[in-house]
Amino acid sequence: MDLITLTIDGVEVQVEPGTTVLEAARKAHIHIPTLCYLEGINEIGACRICCVDTGARSLQAACVLPVSQGMKVRTNTPAVREARKMNLELILSNHERKCLTCVRSGNCELQKLSHDLGVSEETRFEGRKTDRPIDDLSPSIVREPNKCVLCRRCVAACAKVQKIGVIGPVMRGFNTAIAPAWNKQLAEVSCINCGQCIEACPVGCLHEKDDTEKVWNLLADPDRHVVVQTAPAVRAALGEEFGMPMGTCVTGKMAAALRRLGFDKVFDTDFGADLTIMEEGTELLGRLQNGGVLPMITSCSPGWIKYCEHYYPEMIPNLSSCKSPHEMLGAVIKSYYAGREDLDPNKVAVVSVMPCTAKKFEAQRPELSNNGLQDVDVVITTRELARMIKEAGIDFARLPDEDFDDMLGESTGASVIFGVTGGVMEAALRTVYEVVTGKTLEKLEFEGVRGFEGVKEASVQMGDMEVKVAVAHGTGNAARLLDAVKSGKKQYHFIEIMGCPGGCVTGGGQPIVCADVQAEVNVKELRAKALYGEDEGKKLRKSHENPSIKKLYAEFLGEPNSHRAHKLLHTTYVTRDKY
């Protein structure tokens, strides 16, 4: 293929046909500012911040302008700088500028652009501002429309990536807003609470519902015994909030910070993941051997579960009945742990630190309770934990590494990879293989289910049985996989689905990465590498080898899928309307 040669600010660049000017500039390490652009997701030229001079009659948007042979592009002329500044001031003219109190202050792309382009708080275009009510009925996501810049990045993430499309442009002209149809709130439509819209938003229009005050109140209550647990993916991203390189695993510092916040016990959701494998693996074997509903589909991701209930209710019988790991651990804390420590379960509070906004919705589900008590009392995201650590004045980067507390803090390498797409499948296969064959699995890495291809397939020989498995991440890919199963084109025994692209490492509650950085680094890959590294460093790497899990079954549960295990660790699902 013949390459196209062009010059950008006097720098000669060669690129393939079809490349945009923005992409060519990045190849030449020339920075063109953007706002509405999100690589591979939202490339629509709406904000015009990326305008450049090509000698044409008017300036053009670099993000949608294809290169041509001999093109001469200038990115820094007086006209370009003035146009960018004017476009930004027009956007700000209808923006609620409460930067000091905004959750995105310091990590806001609009704020950074204003600083870089020399735009002050007072703009040339002060005029009438729209005033719309805040949408905060959802337990997971808050929408503040007066901060919206109409970039449509959230719309693209919801419609193009997740294939859901519950938000979009409504009304026209100056009155245009991004919202659910018919003036509804997010809680009134079939939003799955995945939070990918939050990750896409460049400003503070979309954010998780802040539950940190609930946690502070629990910690201050002398009558409550407050236990915290942290999901696998949190340790792979929390450090970013404190200036550490992406992909830094901060497990030990995280445990230390949680103790300094005042939690009575610091447990690891990885223990719950190991427990999930014991229950889910046994459930899968039971279905394979007794003619149960196949394929069995994992149930760890609450965004995926709600998506299934709304959009594929006919597949509900295929779902594993297992609760998600943090809900399992919450149930165990309020039963086994409370009994061992002679605590009143009514006074035990469980706080889960999750990479996921959908976990906030999940924790409120009436199906996830026992004896009138919710398994988990409060869910906060990775971002919320970071804010609490900063509010407490803890110097996170200088903390010594500490271990989780005993009893429910011990885990294996299999559990930590739950945080990345394919991880639940790999963890399950490590255990199920040894249970079925009675042989030791020498190579623990199942490469066929690793990686970030939208849908992955593999076959695993387990004695006389060939088990066909599939993995999908992001509900857009899940729909493609489920449609193939429903049509009969594909047959599997076991399917893993994660609601978020990449799995929990890029969940809706993780640190937000600006569009410029996303274009330069593979966020999923770096965070996943941290989890795979922790797996490799573990002495025990199979869930059934966890001595604390063995002890739990011996002293309390009996055996996997026992009557008590089903009462505490399994659940049911509901059909929800699609609207």
The single residue of 85, 334, 359, 524 carrying the catalytic annotation is: 359
Residue 415 appears among annotated catalytic residues:
no
Cα dihedral: 360, 379, 572, 320 (round 10):
100
Residues 543, 427 contacting (CB under 8 angstroms): yes
The single residue of 114, 299, 320, 335 carrying the catalytic annotation is: 320
Residue 280 appears among annotated catalytic residues:
yes
Concatenating the DSSP letter of every residue in 137-194 gives: -SSSEEE-GGG-----HHHHIIIIISS----EEES-GGG-EEE-GGG--GGGTT----
Question: Going by C-beta distance under 8 Å and a sequence separation of 6 or more, which residues neighbour residue 99?
Answer: 105, 108, 111
Query: C-alpha angle with apex 107: 101 to 111, nearest 5 degrees?
Result: 75
The single residue of 16, 82, 367, 391 carrying the catalytic annotation is: 367
b/e map 305-334, b = 16+ CB within 10 Å: bbbbbbbbeebbebbbbbbbbbbbbbbbbb
Residue 299 appears among annotated catalytic residues:
no
Distances (CA, A) of 44 to 36, 49, 56, 150, 501: 8, 12, 20, 12, 22
DSSP 323: P
Residues 320, 297 contacting (CB under 8 angstroms): yes
The single residue of 89, 208, 240, 280 carrying the catalytic annotation is: 280
The single residue of 96, 109, 283, 384 carrying the catalytic annotation is: 283
Residues 165, 135 contacting (CB under 8 angstroms): no
173: buried, middle or exposed (CB in 10 Å: 19+, 13-18, 0-12)?
Answer: exposed
Go through the chain and tell me how many residues it has. 579
DSSP 420: S
Query: C-alpha angle with apex 525: 452 to 162, nearest 5 degrees?
Result: 45
The single residue of 300, 308, 322, 500 carrying the catalytic annotation is: 300
Residue 300 appears among annotated catalytic residues:
yes
The single residue of 85, 504, 524, 542 carrying the catalytic annotation is: 504
Instruction: Name the nearest CA neighbour of 420 among 455, 391, 386, 450.
Output: 450
Question: Going by C-beta distance under 8 Å and a sequence separation of 6 or more, which residues neighbour residue 30?
Answer: 8, 9, 11, 75
- Any idea which residues carry the catalytic annotation? 280, 283, 300, 320, 359, 362, 367, 504
